[in-house]
């Protein structure tokens, strides 16, 4: 979908399945909310662009990216969604918080998907700087929320069509 040379929001629109009967939960971390709310907006716009209905997109919030896995598990276990998109932004700082939070979020989100058997998407930015985050949240590198939404649609489609 994207690599170093490509914009996070660039993809082949015709290769994306129709999402009109899919239900999504979006879980948004409140840390760095200027970034995460923009990622969430990108995800919503992209889901709707591919047919998802407003009533089938539910948004929930967690305090920080560390809480994304448990929050995702809560949402997945309601049985009301086909996929959960986790949105966060952890910016490299001077403490080791960065590594702990990124590792916990990545491993935790993976495990929730495997445990609940629904696609749980890693829409978490892990940039070195605030500017790098801005560039990937609707800036010059596109919006990682778009990428997360496309991933969710494709994974739901994959599961339904095996
Ligand atoms: C504590 C913390 C720090 C230092 N940095 C971030 C960050 O850049 N991005 C983020 O999403 N969350 C951060 N947090 C908060 C943790 O994710 C978590 O909410 C707290 O450690 C409480 O468990």
State the first-to-last Cα distance of the chain, in angstroms, to the nearest integer.
21
- CA–CA gap between residue 107 and residue 110 (Å, rounded): 5
14 within a domain of the structure (yes/no): no
Q: What CATH number is associated with residue 100?
A: 3.40.50.960
Q: For every one of its 162 residues, what pLDDT tens digit does the chain have, with 9 covering 90 and above? A: 555 557 878 888 779 999 999 999 999 999 999 999 999 999 999 999 999 999 999 999 999 999 999 999 999 999 999 999 999 999 997 678 899 999 999 999 999 999 999 999 999 999 999 999 999 999 999 999 999 999 999 999 999 999
Looking at residue 137, what is its pLDDT?
97
CA angle 32, 148, 88 (to 5 degrees): 20
Atom 18 of ligand 1 has which residue's CA nearest to it? 64
Looking at residue 1, what is its pLDDT?
54
Q: Which domain holds residue 149?
A: 23-157
66 lines ligand 1 (CB under 6 A): yes
40 within a domain of the structure (yes/no): yes
115 within a domain of the structure (yes/no): yes
Q: What is the best residue among 62, 97, 123, 128 to mutate for testing ligand 1's pocket, by most ligand atoms within 8 Å of CB? A: 97
Atom of ligand 1 at shortest range from CA of 88: 11
Q: Which long-range contacts (CB under 8 A, 24 or more apart) does 108-111 make?
A: 108/68, 108/69, 108/70, 108/72, 109/68, 109/69, 109/72, 111/69
65 lines ligand 1 (CB under 6 A): yes
101 within a domain of the structure (yes/no): yes
48 within a domain of the structure (yes/no): yes
136 within a domain of the structure (yes/no): yes
3 within a domain of the structure (yes/no): no
Torsion of CA 4, 10, 13, 17, to 10 degrees: 60
Domain total for the chain?
Answer: 1
33 within a domain of the structure (yes/no): yes
- CA–CA gap between residue 5 and residue 66 (Å, rounded): 30
């Amino acid at each position: 979908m994207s690599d170093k040379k490509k914009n996070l929001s660039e993809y082949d629109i015709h290769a994306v399945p129709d999402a009109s009967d899919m239900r999504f939960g979006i879980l948004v971390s409140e840390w760095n909310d200027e970034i995460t709310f923009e990622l969430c907006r990108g995800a919503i716009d992209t889901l709707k662009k591919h047919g998802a209905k407003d009533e089938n997109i539910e948004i929930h919030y967690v305090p920080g990216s560390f809480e994304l896995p448990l929050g995702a598990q809560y949402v997945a276990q309601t049985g009301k969604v086909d996929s959960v998109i986790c949105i966060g932004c952890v910016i490299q700082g001077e403490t080791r918080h960065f590594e702990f939070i990124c590792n916990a979020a990545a491993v935790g989100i993976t495990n929730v998907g495997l445990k609940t058997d629904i696609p749980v998407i890693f829409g978490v930015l892990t940039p070195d700087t605030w500017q790098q985050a801005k560039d990937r949240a609707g800036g010059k590198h596109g919006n990682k929320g778009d990428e997360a939404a496309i991933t969710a649609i494709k994974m739901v489609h994959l599961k339904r069509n095996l």
